[in-house]
Amino acid sequence: MTLSLSSVPFYAKAFGALAKTLVSSGIVSPEGGPRAMASLPGVLARYRFTTARELEQGYLTCPERIALIDDDGALTYRQLRNDARTFARHLRRHHGDDIRLGVMARNGRGIITPLGAKGYAGATIYLLNIGSSAEQLLGSMEENRINVLVVDDEFLPRVPKNYSHDLELIVAHEGDGAADHGLTTLDSIVRRPELVADEKLPAFPKHGDIVLMSSGTTGIPKGIIRPEPKFPFVLSTVMGNVPWRADQKIQLTASIFHTWGWACLNIALGARNTIVTHRVFDPVQCLDDIQRYQLDGLISSPVFYRRMVEADPEGTYDTSSLRFICSSGHALTPTLVEETIDRFGPILANIYGSTELTLAAAANAEQVASDPTLAGSVATGTRLKILDKDGNELPRGEEGEIYLHNSMTLTGYTKPGMEVKRVQGLVSIGDLGYIDEEGYLHVVGRADNMIIVGGENVHPESVSEVLESMPGVHEVYSGGVDDEDLFKRVAVWVVRTKDKLGEALTEDAIREFVEENLASHSVPRDVHFLDRLPRNPTGKVVPRLLG
């Protein structure tokens, strides 16, 4: 990375903030004794800030601490590190320096072990979207020439039989009553380390890219190329706004195959936390985990902790051990914030970012409680600007498109010919927003969601925020649809509550409620009642499935 003289103060300040955060949070500490401290520079030089680095340093620092509790049991830092190294040796033996490792797995050791092995072996890894169809999976594999695929057995029917490259297929997780597939399993590999003990791992492995896939509702999912971080400056923003510290126990509900879950996995391992996670989200199980293990933190997305609130209306489960809820993935709304604080206390912090750009801003629990629409302070080490449609920077208070860049920004896409759109060296996050007079970022909605109704700009998200507080509304999604006279109009899809208020809800009542709270051009002409909103594995509504 080449720095101009003008950028030196920017990166010096960012590095200073990162160092201060690592020490104050306990991530860099004398825990583990002189050997662990002496090894820290060498481990960092060899593995950078990768999953392999966190497993290696955890092994040297606190080898017998529980690192992971998943659906298959518990693993210490020693066990998880050794499993990752064994799998790395297996990959090196069979594929040498050309390891193009695809993973299609839910949360648990089936995805964490390959992520660690990636760093030890010097591989490039592709975190495949578990919602991909068979056709989409084939497209992603062909596009990236994947030669090793680690896959949960539930996804085996989607694995292509007409793949044009040599492929080693490994089963990550086997469900109860799994059929005899005759394939090698990840568990069988890591349980026999003696079979590859003579395979040497590189002292300084090359650092291949980590590629995360977009949701890919149609066509081949976009492969978003991101280098493993050398200096994750943005880490200081998360740790500075969330009381996330060393040697805590946290619940990771966010999907690891997405940016939010992947980033939080590495932070948790870096903090030598005990991670509790499950393959499939169950709100009651999550509440039970918090009570049983006395968890300190919950890493999740709004739709999931809302389900937890709904599953325990009487507050039966003791969640008083929670010190923080770290939320990302979807926008917070005033109603959601109020419900969460009422149940768990004022501990909800918001992290704002995207798959392409990772962290952009963060708001602490106090800020979220006072203003749920606040995205927060711009992340350390991040250049962020609000630009108009011509690429000109807008003054504070004026709404425009959010552009930014930091050390975690994507370097490109895997699809040939697909270029990253840059303006002033910055990349659009795809949202509209503004920066207030105090320098805080506010997000008003998706740039491609804003519609013009009768000459007026309308953000459908504002309609959803209003309707969430309406008695009888359980869930709601708002969007724009084509209109012959107005070009676009607002439509809403509503899930009623299962009570008398929900039963009494009508289309006219929905319209009247919106008209009482917003301008007339925001009133939805189309009101659809559904039994449920279609969501992808990360909890986001899939508009094309609304009908």
Helix (H, G, I), strand (E, B) or coil at 71: coil
Specify the pairing of strand 148-151 against strand 383-387. Answer: unpaired
CA dihedral for 406, 408, 414, 415, sign (positive or negative): negative
Q: Residue 419: which pLDDT band, with cuts at 50, 70 and 90?
A: confident
Lowest mean pLDDT among 114-123, 225-234, 286-295, 358-367: 225-234
Helix or strand holding residue 351 (H, E): strand 348-354
pLDDT of 78 strictly over 80: yes
* 490 in any annotated domain: yes
Compute the distance between CA of residue 172 and CA of residue 149 in angstroms, rounded to an integer.
9
Average pLDDT rounded to a whole number, residues 340-357: 92
Residue 326 lies in a domain: no
Vertex 41, ends 39 and 45: CA angle to 5°? 115
Give the pLDDT mean for 468-482. Answer: 90
Cα–Cα distance, 385 to 388 (Å, whole number): 10
Asked if the structure places residue 299 within a domain, the reply is: no
Alpha-carbon span 526 to 408, nearest angstrom? 41
pLDDT over threshold 50, residue 14: no
Partnered with residue 446 across adjacent β-strands are 431
User: CB under 8 Å to 314, separation ≥6 — which residues?
Assistant: none
290 in any annotated domain: no
- The answer to whether the CB of 445 falls within 8 A of the CB of 464 is no
Residue 309 has pLDDT above 90, yes or no: yes
Half-sphere exposure of 5 (CA within 13 A, CB side): 0
d(CA 141, CA 470): 45
Query: Residue 410: pLDDT above 90?
Result: no
- Per mean pLDDT, which range of 317-321, 362-366, 526-530, 542-546 is the poorest? 542-546
Has residue 163 been placed in a domain? yes
Query: Could you tell me the two tokens for 364?
Result: 């602490």
Of 471, 522, 469, 464, give the one whose Cα is nearest residue 493.
464
Collapsing DSSP states into helix, strand and coil, what is residue 337?
Answer: helix
Is residue 527 domain-resident? yes
In CATH, what number is assigned to the domain containing residue 489? 3.30.300.30
3-state secondary structure of 280: coil
Please report the beta strands in 98-220, taking only residues with DSSP state E, as ranges in sequence order. Answer: 100-104, 124-127, 148-151, 168-171, 184-185, 210-213
CATH of residue 146's domain is: 3.40.50.980
**How many Å is the maximal CA-CA distance in the chain?**
74
Q: Taking the model in full, what pTM does it have?
A: 0.84
**Beta bridge mates, 150:** 103, 170
Confidence of residue 330 (pLDDT cuts 50, 70, 90): confident
Residue identified by tokens 């805080």 is: 440
What are 205-239's pLDDT values in tens digits? 988 899 998 765 557 888 899 877 766 666 788 88
Dist. CA 387–CA 59, nearest whole Å: 46
Task: Please say if the pLDDT value at position 20 is more than 80.
Answer: no
Q: What angle do CA 339, 333, 431 make, to 5 degrees?
A: 155
- Domain count for the chain, please give it: 2
Domain with 130, as residue range(s), is: 77-230
Mean pLDDT of 336-364: 91
Q: Which of 267-271, 310-314, 404-408 has the lowest mean pLDDT?
A: 404-408
* Of residues 7 and 59, more confidently modeled: 59
Residue 364: how many CB atoms within 10 A of its CB? 19
User: Looking at the domain assignment, is residue 172 inside a domain?
Assistant: yes
| pLDDT value for 331 | 78
pLDDT at 3 over 50: no
Query: Would you say residue 176 has pLDDT above 90?
Result: no
Residue 360 lies inside a defined structural domain of this protein = no
Contacts of 201 (CB under 8 A, 6+ apart): 85, 88, 89, 92, 120, 121
Report residue 265 as tokens: 């996995």
Tokens coding 119: 């760093």
**Rounded average pLDDT over 360-385:** 92
CB atoms within 10 A of CB 499: 11
| Single residue among 230, 264, 286 that ends a domain in this structure | 230
DSSP string over 239-269: HHHS---TT-EEEE-S-TTSHHHHHHHHHHH
Q: Which amino acid is at 339?
A: E
Residue where a domain stops, chosen among 215, 230, 245: 230
- The residue-averaged pLDDT of 494-521 equals 92
Residue 252 β-bridge partners: 299
SS (H, E, C) 461-489: HHHHHHHHCCCCEEEEEEEEEEECCCEEE
Would you call 363 helix, strand, or coil by DSSP? strand
Q: Chain-wide mean pLDDT for the chain?
A: 88
Predicted pLDDT of residue 52: 95
pLDDT, average across residues 448-456: 73
Q: What is the pLDDT of residue 482?
A: 80
Tell me which residue of 452, 440, 431, 434 sits closest to 357, measured CA to CA.
431
Least confident span in 189-198, 252-261, 482-491, 504-513: 482-491
247 band by pLDDT with thresholds 50, 70 and 90: very high
Confidence label for 21 from pLDDT (cuts 50, 70 and 90): low
Last residue of a domain, one of 230, 260, 294: 230
Residue 208 to residues 47, 101, 278, 470, Cα–Cα distance (Å): 11, 10, 28, 49
The amino acid present at 210, given as its one-letter code, is I
